[in-house]
């Protein structure tokens, strides 16, 4: 498995989304492909993926509730340290 830096992974996810979007199958397909492409890479990588996908979804009119449930579920597991 590749070791990703935060910015590098964030950029890769956004580039993949744009690439998948360019095939003409629509936003839903592009999000699903990007989400699946970067799933289960590791705890920190999954959090970065969730943030990147969440940012993409924030600009969509409609969002599949399953994405929101996965993202909020995984982010709620992160221990808060202040």
Res 11: pLDDT: 93
Determine what percent of the chain is predicted with pLDDT higher than 70. Answer: 93
- Higher local confidence (pLDDT), 38 or 64: 38
Cβ(44)–Cβ(50) under 8 Å? no
Res 1: pLDDT: 52
> Rounded to the nearest 10 degrees, how much is the dihedral formed by the CA atoms of 9, 10, 16, 17?
150
Across residues 19-46, what is the average pLDDT?
A: 88
Contacts of 70-75 spanning 24+ positions with Cβ under 8 A: 74/46, 74/47, 74/50, 75/47, 75/50
**pTM of this prediction exceeds 0.85:** no
């Amino acid at each position: 498995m590749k070791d990703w830096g935060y910015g590098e992974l964030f950029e890769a996810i956004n580039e993949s989304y744009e690439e998948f979007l360019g095939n003409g199958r629509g936003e839903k397909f592009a999000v699903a492909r990007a989400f699946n492409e970067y799933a289960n890479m590791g705890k920190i990588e999954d959090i970065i993926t969730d943030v990147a996908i969440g940012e993409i979804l924030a600009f969509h009119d409609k969002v599949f509730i399953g994405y929101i449930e996965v993202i909020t579920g995984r982010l709620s597991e992160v221990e808060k340290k202040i």
